[in-house]
Structure 1
Amino acid sequence: MSQSSDAAAAVLDDASGSAEVAGRLAVVKTFLSDGGLLALSGTTAMVGIGGAMVVTTLSLFLADAVGATPLMIGLFFAGRAVLEMSTDLLVGVLSDRIGNRKVLVALALMLSSVGAVCYMLLRNYYAIFACGVVFWGVGGSCFAQLLAYTREMADTSAIKANTLNSVMRSITSVAWIAGPPLGFWLIAAHGFTGLYIPAGLLYFLAGALALWKFPNLRVERDEAPKAANPFRGLNRRARLLMIVIVLLLTVNSIYQIDISLTVTRALHLGAGVAGLLLGFGAALEVPVLIYFGARADRYGMWRLMLAAAVGATVFFSLLPLATTRLELLVLQVPNAFWTSLVLSLPVIMLQNIVDGGLGTASALYSSSFKFGTMLGGATAGVVAEWFGYSDVFWVCAVLAAVAACLLVSGKAYRHEHAEHSAV
């Protein structure tokens, strides 16, 4: 009887494995045969590379080319971030009412292209600030709109939303591996003009590709009358998730800002080690994104978010104790685990639980994302000034632990845990 049971279990495992392989092959076949998915992938890649080139070099541009003081640079980033959060929410609501999301994606990308041209031509701080607020501020809504369009594309295709979102996030991760060194090389070789010409061209081509190659999706929408306030549909789970997103994106932003200073000034390991850590971590994110993206429904997204928060707590508790390059590289494994989950799952979760529409839900995610990033910048500066660079990560561990406690206390996690236990 035992041998028969073992044989039956082996057959079931083989069948399950064959079905999983067949599912992966079906996803690849769908991608290669669907022009809309290929266009979405191409647009995501160009936006990722262009964004990585511009974002990582903007403070250098303001300091060297414009002559801005540290305070002026801080005000520039804060002002643009506040406007981007506002425009994200406004455009998100409008996109749900208008319905033709690809036009908004293309328009936002074209505005970003114009913003790159302004940066190329202007050297007056206030003129650059105005152009940044108008063109990059409104153009920044392309992030939320691409997330919403990706979900609509998944809903109208044979690919699961988690899988497609993870693939697009993987493309972005690869773009962020290539974009920063490419941007700095262009500056070294051709100056800031040599940076913003290709960046503007990438945004323009991405907008053109979206306008002419994105299909006009006709997703079935709820015909019930829209509430005057589209954010009234925010239930307790959505509010809790947004707080968790802000907390975890805050610690991620602190890490991105502080790791290079910790490596060079506290550990005296050299700037190349900081670049190696960021690149290695981004490379590790890709397989994690793909693996858990395909299995998020099986494990449960709320449970995975809890695992990510716990992983972040462990990572930031160990990071101040690491003193060698090898130890820092090993810690990129848990770092890639929690980061990849936090940067991919929450948008799907909000889209599932917010009643206002995909555009509104995606805008709420991107606004939480940007608010966490802005808060991380302020926190990193204040804590590092008072306690030192390495001790900043203890604050990150506390914030990540708070996020984990919120997820444990949330009814959504307990409900999902009960469902999986019953199965």
Structure 2
Amino acid sequence: MKLVSALRRGSDPVSLSFLGVTFTTGMAVALQVPTLSLFLAQEVGVRPFLIGLFYTINAVVGILVSQWLGQRSDLRGDRKQLILICCGAGVLVSLLFAFNRHYWLLASLGVLLGSIAGTASPQLFALAREHVDREGRRADMFSSVMRAQFSLAWVIGPPLAFAIAIGYGFSFMYLASALAFLVCCAIVWRWLPSLPLPAPLGDRPKVSSWRDRDVRALFIACTLMWTCNSMYLINMPLYITRELGLEERLAGLLMGTAAALEIPFMLLAGHYTARFGKRPMLLLAVLAGVIFYGGLLSLTGERTLLMLQLFNAIFIGIVAGIGMSYFQDLMPGRAGVATTLFTNSIRTGSILAGAIAGLVAEWWSFHGVFVVAAGLAVLALLGCLRVRNV
């Protein structure tokens, strides 16, 4: 009922435009990311190590670019204008991937443009928070509805991406992504508000969060979780097609199924966290992750792989749903630093995943990547046990 009420209160054109841009940017990303390793292998023709290197470069540049743009937006920038620039970069990177097949150009200019485009999402959430604060409305529920748009986009996007790539080619798929970013530009320009920067809160003492044992353990655990997830996203399409000999469309179906199941688990996690606390919910999530990656080691049929997505959805849905607020509860009064730590755990996981997945796949096998992922999931479970409950 709270979700329905939030949707009703958010039915004004500005709020609907926030939801529309969130969903459309999610679709644009969901058209690109699931097929990227397949694109690099088949269209660009590079070996597994260079595929993993691409993901690592992408994650490192993404951290640097988003950090720089985020600081500039907090100091002097109009977030609406920055979101427009980011969506424009999304159009350009989509066109580059549609018509170019030179690896190092994609790994340099393509990664740079993609990193700028990727900054649209955090800036969109920041602008939405400033908007609802000015309206005197609850920010938490509206933010939850916005986050659900990404999951909904990932229900539709991956199967659609593989269908377009298989039926019409990768160029057509990237053109569809460019169209999605163009739609975002139009919505942002027409309906999103242009707000002045909030008044500065003054200087605050800088305290190293790394000295806090709980924060340190949670960061390491979250990094390991996102490393597992990124390794799965990188490795799974190639594992499905090259080692199991299954159809390419199954990769998109698996991703879409997991994304669809994540939405209810994300909402349920918010409900039961108030009753049991965050650590038991996070332990449940990581235990589901251990079961998921352990299952990938022995289950190879299409039906069983689809059934395994239930555990993948529990894993990612709960971590994505309560991970950020866990950091914030452990660091009261430092919500900005806490949010940055959670975001950096995702990006650090992507960096590690790119290196690990590429090396293991080249020296061992695509199946071996899941062996490593299962081991990392167990380590993440042990790390969560060291974090106090809140």
Q: TM-score range by the shorter chain?
A: 0.7 to 0.9
TM-score (normalised: structure 2) = 0.82
Q: Does 1:291 align with 2:268?
A: yes
Aligned ranges for residues 21-420 of structure 1 at < 5 Å?
A: 21=1, 23-32=2-11, 34-62=12-40, 65-66=43-44, 68=46, 70-98=48-76, 100-152=78-130, 158-159=137-138, 161=140, 163-188=141-166, 190-216=168-194, 223-225=201-203, 232=208, 236=212, 237-263=214-240, 270-294=247-271, 296-350=273-327, 353=331, 358=336, 361-384=338-361, 388-411=365-388, 413=389, 416=390
Q: 2:49–2:362: 8 Å Cα contact kept in structure 1?
A: no
Aligned residues: CA RMSD: 3.4
Q: 1:233–1:355: 8 Å Cα contact kept in structure 2?
A: no
Check 1:57–1:276 CA distance in 2 against 1; reply closer, same or farther (3 A cut). Answer: closer
Q: 2:221–2:383: 8 Å Cα contact kept in structure 1?
A: yes
Tell me the distance in 1 between the aligned counterparts of 2:242 and 2:103: 30
Tell me the distance in 1 between the aligned counterparts of 2:106 and 2:45: 12
261-270 or 49-58, which moves further after superposition? 261-270
Tell me the distance in 2 between the aligned counterparts of 1:301 and 1:160: 20
Check 1:91–1:77 CA distance in 2 against 1; reply closer, same or farther (3 A cut). Answer: same
Tell me the distance in 2 between the aligned counterparts of 1:118 and 1:24: 39
**What's the offset of the Cα at 1:294?**
4.9
**What's the offset of the Cα at 1:41?**
1.1
Q: 2:30–2:157: 8 Å Cα contact kept in structure 1?
A: yes
Tell me the distance in 2 between the aligned counterparts of 1:331 and 1:285: 13
Q: Any idea what SS the aligned residue of 1:343 has?
A: helix
**What's the offset of the Cα at 1:336?**
0.9
Q: Any idea what SS the aligned residue of 1:409 has?
A: coil
**What's the offset of the Cα at 1:251?**
0.9
**What's the offset of the Cα at 1:357?**
6.1
Q: Any idea what SS the aligned residue of 2:10 has?
A: helix
Give the structure with higher Rg (CA): 1
Q: Which amino acid aligns with 1:52?
A: A
Q: 1:102–1:216: 8 Å Cα contact kept in structure 2?
A: yes
Q: Which amino acid aligns with 2:309?
A: Q
Tell me the distance in 2 between the aligned counterparts of 1:148 and 1:339: 23
Check 1:250–1:147 CA distance in 2 against 1; reply closer, same or farther (3 A cut). Answer: farther
Q: Runs of 5+ in structure 2 lacking a partner?
A: none
Q: 1:111–1:138: 8 Å Cα contact kept in structure 2?
A: yes
Check 1:77–1:150 CA distance in 2 against 1; reply closer, same or farther (3 A cut). Answer: same
Tell me the distance in 2 between the aligned counterparts of 1:276 and 1:117: 25
Q: Runs of 5+ in structure 1 lacking a partner?
A: 1-20, 417-423
Q: 1:263–1:271: 8 Å Cα contact kept in structure 2?
A: yes
Tell me the distance in 2 between the aligned counterparts of 1:234 and 1:221: 28
189-198 or 164-173, which moves further after superposition? 189-198
Check 1:314–1:355 CA distance in 2 against 1; reply closer, same or farther (3 A cut). Answer: same
Tell me the distance in 1 between the aligned counterparts of 2:86 and 2:192: 15
Q: Any idea what SS the aligned residue of 2:201 has?
A: coil
Q: Which amino acid aligns with 1:402?
A: L
Q: 1:144–1:363: 8 Å Cα contact kept in structure 2?
A: no
Tell me the distance in 2 between the aligned counterparts of 1:240 and 1:300: 17
Check 1:262–1:132 CA distance in 2 against 1; reply closer, same or farther (3 A cut). Answer: closer
Check 1:175–1:231 CA distance in 2 against 1; reply closer, same or farther (3 A cut). Answer: farther
Tell me the distance in 1 between the aligned counterparts of 2:251 and 2:104: 33
For these two proteins, the number of residue pairs brought into alignment is 387
- Could you list the per-position Cα deviations for residues 19-61 of structure 1 after superposition, in whole angstroms to 9, with x for gaps in the alignment? xx3x3432231122x3332111111111111112122334454
TM-score (normalised: structure 1) = 0.77
Q: Any idea what SS the aligned residue of 1:145 has?
A: helix
Tell me the distance in 2 between the aligned counterparts of 1:178 and 1:214: 25
Q: Any idea what SS the aligned residue of 1:215 has?
A: coil
Tell me the distance in 1 between the aligned counterparts of 2:168 and 2:97: 15
Tell me the distance in 1 between the aligned counterparts of 2:236 and 2:13: 40
Q: Any idea what SS the aligned residue of 1:225 has?
A: coil
Q: Which amino acid aligns with 2:124?
A: L
**What's the offset of the Cα at 1:89?**
1.9
**What's the offset of the Cα at 1:86?**
1.0
Tell me the distance in 1 between the aligned counterparts of 2:360 and 2:118: 29
Tell me the distance in 2 between the aligned counterparts of 1:159 and 1:214: 19
Tell me the distance in 2 between the aligned counterparts of 1:248 and 1:393: 13
- Could you list the per-position Cα deviations for residues 184-232 of structure 1 after superposition, in whole angstroms to 9, with x for gaps in the alignment? 44445554443333322321331342344233567966622156xx785
Check 1:377–1:354 CA distance in 2 against 1; reply closer, same or farther (3 A cut). Answer: farther
Check 1:251–1:65 CA distance in 2 against 1; reply closer, same or farther (3 A cut). Answer: closer
Q: Any idea what SS the aligned residue of 1:344 has?
A: helix
Q: 1:92–1:363: 8 Å Cα contact kept in structure 2?
A: no
Q: 1:313–1:401: 8 Å Cα contact kept in structure 2?
A: yes
Check 1:337–1:62 CA distance in 2 against 1; reply closer, same or farther (3 A cut). Answer: closer
**What's the offset of the Cα at 1:377?**
3.1
Q: Which amino acid aligns with 1:47?
A: T
- Could you list the per-position Cα deviations for residues 318-376 of structure 1 after superposition, in whole angstroms to 9, with x for gaps in the alignment? 44343544443333222211111122322344456386664x65454333212212322
